[in-house]
Homo-oligomer: A and B are copies of this chain.
Amino acid sequence: MLSVDALHAGRVDREILEDLRSGELTAVTVTVGFWEDATETMDRIGRWRDTVRDNADLVQLAEGPADIRSARDEGRTAIVLGLQNTAALIDRIRFVELFALMGIRVMQLTYNNQNAIGGSCYEASDSGLSRFGRQVVREMNRVGILIDLSHVGENTGRDAIEASETPVAVTHANPSFLCAHKRNKSQALLEALADRGGVLGLSTFPNFSVGWCETPARWAELVERTIEVIGVEHVGIGTDLVPKIDETEYDWMRRGRWTREADYGSGKPGGPVAVGWPDWCDSSAKFQAFAAALSDRGFAPADIEAVMGGNFLRLYEETMAPMGALV
């Protein structure tokens, strides 16, 4: 079964990589960074490349879709390097290409805050895609970096869908018409995404799945109701799993260096950073539980594979250039 987790945000060591294999994952897009500038991001990319090399019996770096297929044939999981922000560009258009050369294949336009490219889902007012943002979208298209809109604001997301020549992704969010939360996406945005061939990765992150992931049966209903609106070709999975993330790292994710005050991300004042994950899907090792849930609800095998990974693999194929195409 083709199985793709379009967004993993946890720490990754050998134990977690073994979980990816236990979960029979074909490919996983990992989070290389959030607020890091160019140099800091390069430190993280360097460590990721080491980690992948040091665990070559389990994983392989995905420079392009061909690597995902070859990893599958060899019983390894393809690791797609992604950034949850564009901070690494430090406002330089040419750095899009350079980070692609270093291996970045997915980039979210904004994380939780407005940046030079556009607005986030948590800003009171979203500018839409900026002048620089339009340049970056075009450049990401050119060099084969998948555009991710998960934490991006509604206006910027809509603009990016329109501006991009290739389909884009919401790798880890849910429909806001089912799960009311700022991090989730409106029906209008998801329909526009699907119209242009994009894919939504449904997320089991408790804060913004709002009860829909408590049981396999409820989650399968979430999938079904999402498919009713945007079609089975446009729904996938992006867990947003965060194994082994400690308070220091949560603090970095939420507050970076942008505030001295408290910030709760998708959580609430006074609440824990993340409500506990339901047992049935709290690890990459349990990824096939999603397939079982869909099967129990009576999904056809072809539709199960589309949701489990086929749709994201198709999107990766349509957007990611092999590095050789960059010169």
Which positions in A face B, CB cutoff 8 Å?
A: 38-39, 42-43, 45-47, 49-50, 52-53, 60-61, 63, 90, 92, 94-95, 97-98, 101-103, 323-324, 327
Q: Which residues in B have their C-beta under 8 angstroms from that of A50?
A: 94
Nearest to A47 among chain B residues (CB) is B94
Considering the complex of A and B, which 7 residue pairs feature the smallest CB-CB distances, nearest first?
A: A46-B94, A101-B101, A61-B327, A101-B102, A98-B102, A42-B98, A38-B39
Q: Which residues in B have their C-beta under 8 angstroms from that of A60?
A: 327
Q: Smallest Cβ distance from A49 to chain B, in angstroms?
A: 7
A232 to B39, CA, bound (A): 43
Q: Is the interface of A mostly helix, strand, loop or mixed?
A: helix
A50 to B46, CA, bound (A): 25
Nearest to A90 among chain B residues (CB) is B39
Partner of A42, one of B53, B95, B324, B327: B95
Q: Smallest Cβ distance from A100 to chain B, in angstroms?
A: 10
Nearest to A52 among chain B residues (CB) is B327
Q: Smallest Cβ distance from A61 to chain B, in angstroms?
A: 5
Establish whether residues A98 and B46, one from each chain, have CB atoms under 8 Å apart when the complex forms.
yes
